[in-house]
Amino acid sequence: MDTYTLLPLILAFLWTFLYFLNHNSKKSTTSPRLPPGPPPIPIIGNLHQLSTTPYRTMADFSRTYGPLISLKLGTITTVVVSSANAAREMFQKHDLAVSTRHVTSAVRAADGHDRYSMVWMPVNAKWRLLRKISTVQLFSIQRLNAGQSLRHAKVVEMAEYVNKCCESGEVVDVGKVAFTTQLNLLSNTFFSMDMASHSSKDSGEFKELVWKIVEEIGKPNLADIFPVLGFVSKLFVNRELIGIGNKFNEERLSSEGRGNGDVLDTLIKIMKEEGSELSLDDIRHLLMDFFTAGTDTTTDTMEWAMTELIRNPEKMAKAQDELERALGKDTKSIQESDISKLPYLQAVVKEALRIHPPAVFLVPRKADSDIELCGYLVPKNAQVFVNLWAISYDPNTWENPDKFLPERFLDQDMDAKGQDYGFIPFGAGRRACPGMTLAYRMLNLMLGTLIHGFNWKLEDGLTPEKLDMSEKFGVSIQKAQPLKLIPI
């Protein structure tokens, strides 16, 4: 073939090549692209860059790449939201598009928990039914107000136990005391009975069981990273995820005819109504959700709040002075009606929720379609994390974010109801935690009672400066070493 024959072919090829190059260049400048992030490597993606505290690692990435980053966790494209502004745009513009959960293999392996759990199932008719039942039967203002006497009674029992320890000089495990109080509040709400006592080992064993569950759900699993290995999860998943349901379901659900008027009676009554879509499995898994989420996060926040007050004695003194001024020296019992008169106590609780968020990541979501967020593409089926820890420590939102400063909440009217996106410890949007109001009331009641009725010191002559602050990561962040104090 001579030069004259080849030349037109070469020119045609070059024209075609330049046309597509120009076309793709224009397309790439007008279409959103994936958020920036550290470059992945084949097969494992960015897994090798994550530490045992992935929330901190991802927060570090956001300082380099911006408030919206993308990672490759094995084969899973993951987008991480790390700022209040990015969270605001996601919840206000795309809440429905990212309302589906990215279900972990541990949850799937737990007797199909994702098919029945309000936390994990998609936003569908069954989810709306369970959400409505939860709102009306448990967390409506009328229900919450009606339960004030029960909450007060459980907090008084806690104070009586601590007082016995005070008289005998015994050490108090703050996390265990808070857990037992919250556990018995929930069990009486559902079953009209206590499930544990402060002086027995059973609450400690149950607390450990709940921690194993949230740790199992929170830690990476091969099947989550490489879905083709889903069968491995079913072989190795912690079976306590299934056993917890039997811990309190069979015996209590069989006593349905008691007529105590508690929540379980109401749920069974709804289930038996003609045409009801509520099943016994729905009730079992609903109880699993409430007992795990309702005890673990409240307990962890209480323990961290007391830890911060012990480490910051001037903050403890300020909170105690406020309680004494508002309630008097001789009144040790706190009522819920007193909380509105205790702005500094409320600020302490809020700051504890900020600096030690009850869940470092919101429950993972999945994009149901391609969406544009902060100018970037979040592709369909991508996993979406909201890094609450990063948002809570963002210096663009919080001055001196590493310091425990309850006073910051006295200067600004922020609540935890999901409207202030720099402070969303219970989530936001349609999938926000329905029990946030109950948790907030109990945290104020328990903390106020412990610091108003008693002074506290560390055991074995330990000083506040030497207090162990190491963390244990699951869904929430637990103190690695339990906080043990002596009441005086």
User: Is there a contact between 441 and 449 (Cβ–Cβ < 8 Å)?
Assistant: no
φ/ψ of 397, rounded to 5, equals -105, -35
Q: How far apart are CA 208 and CA 9, in angstroms?
A: 74
| Both tokens assigned to 370 | 């391609």
C-alpha distances (whole Å) from 57 to each of 133, 327, 390 are 39, 44, 10
User: Is there a contact between 80 and 86 (Cβ–Cβ < 8 Å)?
Assistant: no
The size of the chain, in residues, is 488
φ/ψ of 104, rounded to 5, equals -80, 155
Nearest to 55 by CA among 222, 218, 270: 218
433 is in an annotated binding site: yes
φ/ψ of 296, rounded to 5, equals -65, -55
Task: Give me the residues paired with residue 384 across strands.
Answer: 79, 365
Nearest to 221 by CA among 108, 104, 115, 113: 104
Q: How far apart are CA 298 and CA 442, in angstroms?
A: 8
Provide CB contacts within 8 A for 369, sequence distance 6+.
97, 380
Task: Give me the residues paired with residue 366 across strands.
Answer: 100, 383
Q: How far apart are CA 359 and CA 176, in angstroms?
A: 19
- Helical (H) or strand (E) element with 181: helix 174-191
Cα first-last separation, the chain: 101
| Both tokens assigned to 471 | 């963390």
- 3-state helix, strand, coil split of the chain in percent (to 5) is 55, 10, 35
Annotated binding site: 433
List the binding residues for heme: 433
